[in-house]
Amino acid sequence: MVEVSVKSARFLRGRGYIGSVVKRVLLAAPRGYCAGVERAVETVERALAQNGPPVYVRKQIVHNSHVVDELRQRGAVFVASIEDVPEGGLVVFSAHGIAPAVRAGAAARSLRTIDATCPLVTKVHAEARRYAAEGYTVVLVGHAGHEEVEGTMGEAPDSIVLVESVADAEQLEVANPQRVAYVTQTTLSVDETREIVAVLHRRFPTLHGPEKEDICYATTNRQQAVKELLPHVQLLLVLGSTNSSNSQRLVEVARSAGVPAHLIESERALDERWLEGVETVGVTSGASAPESLVEDLCEWFRGHGVAEIRELAPAEENVVFKLPAELRPRTAA
């Protein structure tokens, strides 16, 4: 249990002083990059090193503006569609996965392709295809418009229906209630998804689902780390971009427990008014946010007089995914 003593401090601000009692910053662990993001970012870096610029990337390679900007400076060209890639060009598919139609379109335009889809997303695609081939209505639990959802639905568009909430699950109607299966987006709220799946099980008792849940290990671990952090903090700051689903879920986890939380791109987006009356600040980062953003935020707090900055309960992840085959070193025969 963290012992917190109340002692007033005053922080200098551009237009004057504001009152604050911030004494410490506690960092969630694990946080930041997951294995799928590491693989995707390294895929673009290796492609640039081996082929030189430009290397085209369909959509954002991962949902973080800092990562995208850095890769753009190194010669990556981010495009909304494969139609924006010159014929014969080299294009990398993002970590979120693509529909088969995108792959076919790339082949039709003679594009050279490297697939940086996270292997855990590929697993969901394979499940959706298998259930659809076996004649099931496939319920995809996820968020409309997210690139991962668009890619998964593209695997069997006539067989997959999207469910976003408990209310959607309650109202769902299918042709054959005895032949229903489900898969999920990998970056959802663990608790909310469990509630939705419970409704599906009640309404469709023969419901089939993945042997191992589709929400990825990193999403689960980061949400659990935040839950362990919350009893010790009065405010949670989540570093990540607004289009990052897993980062948004971290904010929701805190707010659902009654702890104020804010998603910020970097320390420059921190509003010091959030700190008034706060003694201990929690910090975490989404699975696509580089650790440098956490370091910059910690440096900001040090510059404002906070001496105690530490991880609440250090934890490690040892998951590693191989690079796409096109980028692996070739071994001699």
135 and 155 fall within a common domain: yes
243 and 179 fall within a common domain: no
Q: Does residue 44 belong to any structural domain of this protein?
A: yes
Q: Does residue 236 belong to any structural domain of this protein?
A: yes
Domain total of the chain: 3
162 and 79 fall within a common domain: no
pLDDT band (50, 70, 90) for residue 20: low
The reply to whether the predicted model has a pTM over 0.85 is yes
274 and 222 fall within a common domain: yes
pLDDT tens digits, residue range 248-261?
Answer: 999 999 999 999 99
Domain at 86, CATH number: 3.40.50.11270
Cβ neighbours of residue 144 under 8 Å, at least 6 residues apart? Answer: 162, 164
Q: Does residue 323 belong to any structural domain of this protein?
A: no
- What rounded mean pLDDT belongs to the chain? 92
67 and 42 fall within a common domain: yes
Could you tell me how far CA 193 lies from the centroid of its own chain? 15
Q: Is 222 left (phi over 0), alpha (psi -120 to 50) or beta?
A: alpha
pLDDT tens digits, residue range 123-140?
Answer: 999 999 999 999 999 999
pLDDT average, residue stretch 165-180: 98
Active site residue 148: yes
Domain boundary among 191, 215, 239: 215
61 and 110 fall within a common domain: yes
Domain boundary among 69, 88, 117: 117
Q: Does residue 329 belong to any structural domain of this protein?
A: no
**Tokens in use for 296?**
């910059």
207 and 243 fall within a common domain: no
Active-site option among 147, 148, 155, 279: 148
pLDDT tens digits, residue range 216-244?
Answer: 999 999 999 999 999 999 999 999 999 99
In the three-class reduction of DSSP (H, G, I as helix; E, B as strand; rest coil), residue 115 is classed as strand
Task: Print the domain residue range for 91.
Answer: 35-117
Q: Does residue 324 belong to any structural domain of this protein?
A: no
User: Residue 77 burial by CB count (10 A; 0-12/13-18/19+): exposed, middle or buried?
Assistant: middle
pLDDT tens digits, residue range 269-325?
Answer: 999 999 999 999 999 999 999 999 999 999 999 999 999 999 987 778 899 999 998
Domain boundary among 86, 117, 148: 117
